[in-house]
C-alpha cells in the first residue's frame, strides 16, 4: 500500500536518512524504533512532504507522494499525528479544529462534515462535552485526543504517529494505541508508529523496523522480537 523506497534526506550537508526502504500494508501496524536523533521524525515528515527528500520514492498504491505537499498527502489519505504541538490550533475550539481537518476531497457538504465529526466523537466520546472549548484549554491527554480525532477526520488510509506516548499517562497511551489497532483490524487502516518506547509500540505492532543513525538495521515480525534483541538495537 505505502512504499518508501531508498529514501535519502539531508539537512544541509548532513545526511539523516540514508536509502531507507520500508512498506506498510492495509490493516498493518509497523513500528519504527530508534534512539534520539535516529531520524524517525524526519522519516514521517518526508512521507507527508514536510521535509524534502534528496532521492528515493514514496508511493501510495502507485501514486508518487515524494516531494509533493502535505496537502497532496492528506488528500491521498495519509495523515501525520505530529509530536510537536500535536498539529492542532490551540486558540480555536475543538469543533473548529475538527471542521478545519475535513479533507477537501470530501467537499464542503455540511451533512458529510457532521457525519465525520460524529464518527470522531464515537471514537473519543470524552470530547463531546468539550466541542465549544478552545483546544488549548484542554488537558494534555484531551489535546492528544483532539489531535488524533483531527488526524482521523476523513478516514485516512495511512496514519503516521510520531511518539504518541510522549507526555501522556500510560492509560491514555494504551487507549490511543488500542484505537489504532482497532481501526487497523476493522477498517484496514495502515499505520507507521514511531517510538522510543519500544514496549509501547510492540503491544500493537505487526512488524518492527529498527532505525539507527538514518539506516534501517533490522526488520522483523513483532512477535519474534525479544527483549534482548531490543537492547541490542539501541
Ligand atoms: P527525536 O526522537 O529526538 O525526535 P528522531 O529519531 O525523530 O529523534 P529526527 O528528529 O528525525 O530524529 O532528527 C534526525 C537528526 O536530524 C538529528 O540529529 C537532528 O538533530 C537533525 N535535525 C532534525 N531536524 C533538523 C532540521 N530542521 N535542521 C537540521 N537538523 C535537523
Residues 92 and 139 reside in one and the same domain: yes
Q: Is the CB of 35 under 6 A from ligand 1?
A: no
Question: Tens place of pLDDT for every residue, the chain, 234 residues?
Answer: 999 999 999 999 999 999 999 999 999 999 999 888 899 999 999 999 999 999 999 999 989 999 999 989 998 999 999 886 677 899 999 999 999 888 777 767 788 888 889 989 988 899 999 999 999 999 888 898 899 899 888 889 999 999 988 877 888 888 889 989 999 999 999 999 998 788 888 889 999 999 999 999 888 898 877 766 766 665
Q: Is the CB of 36 under 6 A from ligand 1?
A: yes
- Minimum-distance ligand 1 atom for the alpha carbon of 45: 11
Q: Is the CB of 231 under 6 A from ligand 1?
A: no
Q: Is the CB of 82 under 6 A from ligand 1?
A: no
Helix residue ranges, H only, the chain: 40-47, 70-76, 94-100, 110-123, 140-152, 170-187, 198-202, 227-233
Residue 20: inside a domain: yes
Give the other-Cβ count within 10 Å of 140's Cβ.
12
Residue 41: inside a domain: yes
Identify the domain containing residue 173 by its residue range: 2-77+156-233
Beta sheet of 2-11, edge-to-edge order:
14-24, 2-11, 55-60, 63-64
Residues 166 and 121 reside in one and the same domain: no
Domain limit, last residue, from 152, 169, 204? 152
Residues 119 and 25 reside in one and the same domain: no
In eight-state DSSP terms, residue 52 is: -
Identify the pLDDT of residue 104: 75
Identify the pLDDT of residue 234: 55
Residues 146 and 95 reside in one and the same domain: yes
Q: How many domains does the chain have?
A: 2
Domain limit, last residue, from 126, 152, 178? 152
Identify the pLDDT of residue 233: 62
Identify the pLDDT of residue 85: 63
Matching residue, cell 521524525 = 41
Closest CA to 210 of 190, 224, 223, 196: 196
Residues 99 and 72 reside in one and the same domain: no
Q: What is the pTM of this model?
A: 0.91
Please compute, for residue 12, the number of CA atoms within 13 A of its CA located in the half-sphere on the CB side: 1
Residues 73 and 163 reside in one and the same domain: yes
Identify the pLDDT of residue 165: 82
* Cell representation of residue 212: 539507527
Residues 60 and 160 reside in one and the same domain: yes
Residue 189, exposed/middle/buried by CB under 10 A (0-12, 13-18, 19+)? buried
Q: Is the CB of 42 under 6 A from ligand 1?
A: yes
Residue 173 CA to residue 1 CA, distance in Å, equals 26
Residues 109 and 174 reside in one and the same domain: no
Residues 69 and 93 reside in one and the same domain: no
Residues 145 and 162 reside in one and the same domain: no
Gap from CA of 77 to ligand 1 centroid (Å): 25
- Domain containing residue 164: CATH number: 3.40.50.300
Residue 82: inside a domain: no
Residues 70 and 161 reside in one and the same domain: yes
Identify the pLDDT of residue 58: 97
Gap from CA of 120 to ligand 1 centroid (Å): 31
Gap from CA of 232 to ligand 1 centroid (Å): 22
Residue 83: inside a domain: no
Residues 100 and 10 reside in one and the same domain: no
Amino acid at each position: 500500500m505505502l512504499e518508501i523506497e531508498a529514501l535519502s534526506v539531508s539537512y544541509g550537508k548532513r545526511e539523516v536518512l540514508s536509502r531507507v526502504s520500508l512498506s506498510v500494508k492495509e490493516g498493518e501496524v509497523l513500528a519504527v524504533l530508534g534512539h534520539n536523533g535516529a531520524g524517525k521524525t524526519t522519516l514521517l515528515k518526508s512521507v507527508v512532504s514536510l521535509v524534502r527528500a534528496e532521492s528515493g520514492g514514496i508511493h501510495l498504491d502507485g501514486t508518487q507522494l515524494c516531494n509533493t505537499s502535505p496537502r497532496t498527502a492528506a488528500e491521498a489519505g495519509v495523515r501525520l499525528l505530529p509530536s510537536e504541538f500535536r498539529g492542532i490550533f490551540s486558540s480555536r475550539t475543538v469543533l473548529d479544529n475538527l471542521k478545519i481537518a475535513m479533507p477537501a476531497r470530501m467537499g464542503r457538504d455540511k451533512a458529510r462534515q457532521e457525519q465525520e465529526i460524529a464518527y470522531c466523537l464515537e471514537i473519543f466520546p470524552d470530547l463531546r462535552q468539550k466541542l465549544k472549548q478552545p483546544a488549548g484549554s484542554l488537558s494534555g491527554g484531551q489535546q492528544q485526543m483532539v489531535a488524533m480525532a483531527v488526524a482521523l477526520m476523513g478516514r485516512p488510509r495511512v496514519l503516521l504517529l510520531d511518539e504518541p506516548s510522549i507526555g501522556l499517562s500510560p492509560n491514555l497511551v494504551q487507549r490511543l494505541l488500542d484505537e489504532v489497532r482497532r481501526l487497523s483490524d476493522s477498517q484496514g487502516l495502515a499505520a507507521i508508529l514511531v517510538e522510543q518506547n519500544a514496549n509501547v509500540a510492540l503491544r500493537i505492532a505487526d512488524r518492527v523496523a529498527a532505525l539507527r543513525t538514518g539506516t534501517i538495521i533490522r526488520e522483523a515480525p513483532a512477535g519474534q522480537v525479544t527483549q534482548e534483541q531490543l537492547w541490542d538495537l539501541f
